[in-house]
A and B are shown apart, each in its own frame.
Chain A
Amino acid sequence: MVSPSQPLFRSLRRLALTTKMVGKGFYKGNRTGSMGRHTKHGGYVIDWNKVRTYVAPELTDFALKPFVSREIPWPRGRFPGEEQGALSGRLYLEKWKKENGEY
């Protein structure tokens, strides 16, 4: 029986998928996402709601850095009496009332 040698076969498995290897409807893409739609005449209509916009903040006078000093110990969160911890809506509401609640 003729078959490809095993090591070669294994290394082939590591290659990228192509359209010949999979069924119809396989969309490989190029990791960018669509920015519009194709027309039936072969054109492309840009949908500005799909086009990425980046809101970059003003960073002047921003005191924080991407790092924290190694002298500062790694803190642990404490949420007394709350099983959900940071996901607790009750704590969120309390904090909102204390800080942002308008009256």
Chain B
Amino acid sequence: MSTLRCLHPATRAIVPIRCAYNASIPPAAQFHNSPAVGARIRTTRDNNRNRGVSAIRRKYPKDPLSVSKVPLPEPAKREEKQPVTVDSDHGLYGFFADSGKVLPTPEEDVQHGRAWSVEELRRKSWEDLHKLWWLCVKERNILYTQSLERKRLDPGFGEYEAKSKDREINRTQRAIKHVLTERYYAWQDAKEFAKLDPQVNLTGHGPAYNPMIFEESGAGRKSKKYKQHSSNKQVA
């Protein structure tokens, strides 16, 4: 009796999962935790199939499982395994720094600038702010990956530097939100101003902006009058 045959049915059912990559052996029948069809049903004194089964005392199920008849596949040899090909341009690489290092040194981590100020971001377009936001998100994702790695390796340093870098990126994100909120309120206020402005057309038909120019009318009187820019090009 081979070692594998000695294994209990429940254990044998688990083993094939580890060698599932061997293609030369037919895939094992789907695992069911129920007795095989046609198998002898064990009779217990109270018809309890789980009688005598205990995880604590290492007593496995006594009924043969549906996979019990399936021969165990042999694990594939290491040489026969195909090398795993990975797309070098995979999106998941966005979670890792370009340096290719698992963890940056604290000296490398502190070499960053300050956060964007609100005043600097006020001059940026919506597209730029949107892109900058996602750039911050990606940068922080890299830091999270590194902090997981730091937890695993436990070098005992670098946490403070990484955290202060993360805080600095967070300040940039906060400034972006600040600017967008400001812009929204200014836009609402501007809409009220535009209602009173004769040069702005809010009807949705025709050009939204009709710039007008001042024109002197009458010889002696200094009254000023708005004139349409488009209809009086010679005046301009």
Contacts and interface: CB of A to CB of B under 8 A. Distances in A.
Interface of A: 55-57, 59, 62, 64-70, 74-77, 84, 86-93, 96-97, 101-103
Dominant secondary structure at the B interface:
helix
A89 B113 contact: no
A77 B118 contact: yes
Across the A-B interface, the 4 shortest Cβ-Cβ residue pairs: A89-B189, A101-B209, A67-B113, A89-B190
B189 A101 contact: no
Contact of B208 (A55, A66, A88, A101): A101
A68 B120 contact: yes
Interface stretch (B22-30, B61-69, B124-132, B216-224): B124-132
Q: Give the interface residue-count category, chain B.
A: 35 or more
Interface of B: 112-120, 122, 127-128, 130-132, 134-136, 138-139, 168-169, 172, 182-183, 185-194, 197, 199-200, 207-211, 229-230
26 contacts: A56-B134, A57-B131, A57-B134, A59-B138, A64-B131, A64-B135, A66-B115, A66-B168, A66-B172, A67-B113, A68-B115, A68-B120, A70-B114, A74-B117, A75-B117, A87-B185, A89-B188, A90-B190, A90-B193, A92-B183, A92-B187, A93-B197, A96-B190, A97-B199, A97-B209, A103-B207
Contact of B193 (A56, A75, A93): A93
Contacts of B138: 59
A76 B190 contact: no
B122 A70 contact: no
Given A66-B168, A103-B230, 7 more contacts: A57-B127, A62-B135, A67-B168, A75-B117, A90-B189, A92-B193, A103-B209
Nearest to B169: A66
Dominant secondary structure at the A interface:
loop
Give the interface centre of B130, B134, B183, B229 by most chain A CB atoms within 10 Å: B134
Contacts of B193: 89-90, 92-93
